[in-house]
Structure 1
């Protein structure tokens, strides 16, 4: 029980933070928001997966990736391909020149379903691909870079270039990917209409559960020996290397894990929003994901979720009121956070709120200082008893 409490929940503060976040996601927001706004929050929470992945990768690993949108998009496209094939059955597409293939392929005079699309008739294959495809892609990039000790700003620029290349590739191969419009008109999943209000509620809760599960897994990774090595590599990489550890392999693993976490968010985005396009793959969304982690606090998993909610809400409000200026406002927000609140929302909580919360918890006797004081008083007595028994 103590292992679960400390390693999976992150101790008293971690458990409390997770409880508050769970209440917000599963009780408070559904109670006060209509289905349209709740679905919008669900969309924001899909970005939180990418923010959480950056806490692991950037905050704890010291590896700044400006290409997380790549993996977010790969997960989204894997899910979208399955949904699109289900929506493109021969009966629904009977008016096309070639029935049974997605409409954008027919418009581009593609007469046969490409081979790499065929396995996505299976939902099982699509779910496996959401995990495997981003992991393999991240492994290839990571092995090429980290084995040659490419890091820091050079790695960040390379990941940004990869995001740009993939966007250009998706747009250019319009007949196979849907091009700039992406994959749209997604209706059902195994016959279940994903556009109804009841389906949106279910997908919102599934999204929340997956996010909580990812946070728990990430906490376990951070409190493990691997997590301690990550911190050591971030601060003194050469010392870790000289101690006999293969730094490159550790970096490749955390990069691949962060890619899979982002891909899960992309898949849930496709289900909740109903489409996927290259506009969620490129440089701009990747930089926005870094902003989410920075605003929430790049060392805090739960802070990353609040950062995703706050920044995306601000983005929606800014773009509605100032459609020409919202990118500048987002950039200004990032600069302000880096200059004045380098630890983000989590840093503000640690400085101004946590002392009061600790005082209250100690007062009511929930863990913390009271337990430490009891242990300090009882330890000598226990030692005396053990000595007498000997």
Structure 2
């Protein structure tokens, strides 16, 4: 039985603890020192790091199915966005009559001449009901989609293509004004969460710390899974599914389990993303966003769990800098980065570190 201590190497544990301590200190410094103080961390930085942690959780979820089970998804953006929309529904209802039109209905519904809430908005004024939707909506969609896809033995590039088709179809659906999801503008202008002002520094710090705790919890859960007997079966699915079937295993339910769990984790990442960024719209479902998740995992090192987290922070940190300094060049830089990683760093950043470590030991 794998213990907590055995989940990671000593160096990995040291790195995790150091990063966790630094991450915890950031909101403390933000709240403890006034703007202009040498130790003050800006609210912008807190929001940015919080967003990166949401992306890291999505990358971790993708690595569970791609890195350890060999299922390359180009549609995880839809699970991320569905979790975000489920939480966004509650946040829109929590605005109350404080919107521009001072109506009981959200501003976008008044603007589009809706008279009542659609049936799928029922009970979404309850925070806990919406949290259940955050888990259930991506989870049920993934289970149904995965059941028919895996039962039909769809795999490899064909599976990747239909996942991308799925997220593109959902994006087009959510862009429509008559679907009740805000159309092109989506959900925004949030006011409060559980009665707390969403823009207050204390609320932002709380959301940040909750995101950190959930990211670490998801990391430990995924690591426990991949180091267990279940994890060895998942890796056997990746390495030789036909041989696994020959010795008596049915890969369908193993693939379906990890696929559904990955979708749920991605939905939770989306739910954490919305209150910290302040908006969710259908563009989060664009195929390009799902491809970026793959790039995060590849850059950090797929099949490592820690690697995709590093990759999410690295790529999005570069994106933040590039879009400010060279806004027209980011997509070219991203494409070049992916090409370089594919050609020269197939194991990603962690693979490069591991290779350097081995060379030092042999020297």
- If the length of structure 2 is used for normalisation, what is the TM-score? 0.92
1:246 is aligned to: 250
Structure-1 separation of matches of 2:56 and 2:199: 22
Deviations 1:259-294 (A, max 9, x none): 011111101100111111111112011111111111
Q: Which has the larger radius of gyration?
A: 1
Q: How many residues align?
A: 352
Structure-2 separation of matches of 1:172 and 1:285: 20
Give 1:73's match in structure 2, choosing from 55, 68, 81. Answer: 81
Kindly report the root-mean-square deviation, in angstroms, between the aligned alpha carbons of the 2 structures: 2.0
2:5 is aligned to: 5
Structure-1 separation of matches of 2:147 and 2:74: 17
2:192 is aligned to: 188
Give 1:16's match in structure 2, choosing from 14, 31, 43. Answer: 14
Give how far 1:25 is off: 2.1
Structure-2 separation of matches of 1:94 and 1:314: 36
Structure-1 separation of matches of 2:159 and 2:195: 43
CA contact (8 A) 2:26 2:46 kept: no
CA contact (8 A) 1:30 1:38 kept: no
Structure 1, unmatched stretches of 5+, are 360-390
1:84 is aligned to: 92
CA contact (8 A) 1:105 1:175 kept: no
1:168 is aligned to: 172
1:372 is aligned to: none
CA contact (8 A) 1:72 1:265 kept: yes
Q: Alignment partner of 2:124: what SS?
A: helix
Structure-2 separation of matches of 1:164 and 1:2: 40
1:363 is aligned to: none
Give how far 1:148 is off: 0.5
1:110 to 1:12, Cα distance in 2 relative to 1, 3 A:
same
Deviations 1:30-66 (A, max 9, x none): 6564221121111111101111011111000100000
Give how far 1:12 is off: 3.0
1:264 is aligned to: 268
More helix by share: 1
1:311 is aligned to: 315
CA contact (8 A) 1:187 1:193 kept: yes
Question: Map of 1:274-353 to 2, 5 A cutoff?
Answer: 274-353=278-357
Structure 2, unmatched stretches of 5+, are 30-38
Give how far 1:175 is off: 5.6
Question: Map of 1:351-370 to 2, 5 A cutoff?
Answer: 351-353=355-357
Deviations 1:58-105 (A, max 9, x none): 000100000110000011001100010110x2x435945xx3111111
